[in-house]
Amino acid sequence: MKLLEDRIRKDGVVKQGDILKVDSFLNHQMDVELFNQMGEEFKRLFADRPVNKILTIEASGIGIACIVAQHFHVPVVFAKKSKSVNLEGEMYTTKIESFTHKRVYDVIVAKKFLSAQDHILIIDDFLANGCAVSGLIDLIRSAGATVEGVGIAVEKGFQEGGKLIRSKGIRVESLAIVESMNPEDGSIVFRPQEN
Ligand code: 5GP
């Protein structure tokens, strides 16, 4: 999506440790008009899928997921990072290692919000090593629900997550795929996309 690539080039900051900072428009201050155009694009890309719910993970996926959901006219559920899992009977649980915080979280979704009848679109801001998305897939499978696809704002194509999730036969659509980035000069190269 050219609009998002242009914005990343303009306002994204390449940090050491393979981190792309986009906090001026994506995951701290949020450009809701941009989110709206991203939502329109995800709707176009997943138009053939019978999505009835969007699943994301707190915190930075929530804003994007909510705007995307307006285009699908479906509710959003966000998986919560929990320090203690003491309600296991009522929750689906999994573990996710945070790429940015380098720690493992227990992540939960209440059973009442995921069921075998659900057809889920996963939405998140970044795809790096794929831990967050794998954990969300785990929660969906625990509920016996169907993964209809994964919509990502920014995929870092030089990390393994995209390959990992696609190798499970799951459709992943990323609006911008960073092929390489250089913290020394701030340059970012995007993977050419067809649509
Ligand atoms: P993964 O689980 O795929 O390794 O990492 C994805 C999660 O880590 C995303 O939910 C996102 O919040 C965070 N993340 C990974 N890489 C980056 C990055 O380069 N920049 C930012 N801002 N967040 C990232």
> Residue 13 — pLDDT band, cuts 50, 70, 90?
very high
Give the model's pLDDT for residue 25: 98
**Among 95, 97, 125, which is best to mutate for testing ligand 1, by the most ligand atoms less than 8 A from CB?**
125
User: pLDDT tens digits for 117-149?
Assistant: 999 999 999 999 999 999 999 999 999 999 999
Atom of ligand 1 nearest to the CA of 161: 3
What's the average model confidence in pLDDT over 7-17?
A: 97
Task: Write the Ramachandran bin of 21: left for phi over 0, alpha for psi from -120 to 50, otherwise beta.
Answer: beta
Q: Which residues contact 99 (CB under 8 A, 6 or more apart)?
A: 126, 128, 129, 131, 132
pLDDT at 76: 98
What pLDDT was estimated at residue 98? Answer: 87
pLDDT digits 0-9 by tens, 152-184: 999 999 999 999 999 999 999 999 999 999 999
Of ligand 1's listed atoms, the one at least distance from the Cα of 96 is 2
Residue 119's pLDDT is 98
Overall average pLDDT of the 68-81 stretch:
97
Q: Ligand 1, atom 5: nearest CA belongs to which residue?
A: 128
List the one residue out of 64, 70, 80, 57 whose CA is nearest residue 30: 64
The confidence score (pLDDT) of residue 82 equals 84
Q: How many CB atoms lie under 10 A from the CB of residue 129?
A: 16
CA of 155 to the centre of ligand 1 (A): 9
Q: What is the pLDDT of residues 80-130, one digit of tens each?
A: 998 665 656 799 999 999 888 888 999 999 999 999 999 999 999 999 999
Please say if the pLDDT value at position 77 is more than 70: yes
Q: Which amino acid is at 161?
A: G
pLDDT of residue 176: 98
Nearest CA to ligand 1 atom 22: 21
Measure 100 CA to ligand 1 centroid, in angstroms: 6
pLDDT value at position 168?
Answer: 97
Please give the structure tokens belonging to residue 103. 């720690």
Q: Which atom of ligand 1 is nearest to the CA of 132?
A: 2
Would you list the DSSP string of the chain?
Answer: -HHHHHHHHHH-EEETTTEEE-TTTTSSS--HHHHHHHHHHHHHHTTTS---EEEEETTHHHHHHHHHHHHHT--EEEEEEES----GGGEEEEEEE-TTT--EEEEEEEGGG--TT-EEEEEEEEESSSHHHHHHHHHHHHTT-EEEEEEEEEEETTSSHHHHHHTTT--EEEEEEEEEE-TTT--EEEPP---
Give the residue whose CA is nearest to atom 10 of ligand 1. 126
Residue position matching structure tokens 């069921």 = 115
Residues with CB under 6 A from ligand 1: 19-22, 27, 60, 99-100, 124-132, 161
Question: Which residues does 2 contact at the CB level (< 8 Å), separation at least 6?
Answer: none
Residue 6 confidence (pLDDT):
97
The model's pTM: 0.96
CA gap 97, 131 in Å, rounded? 6
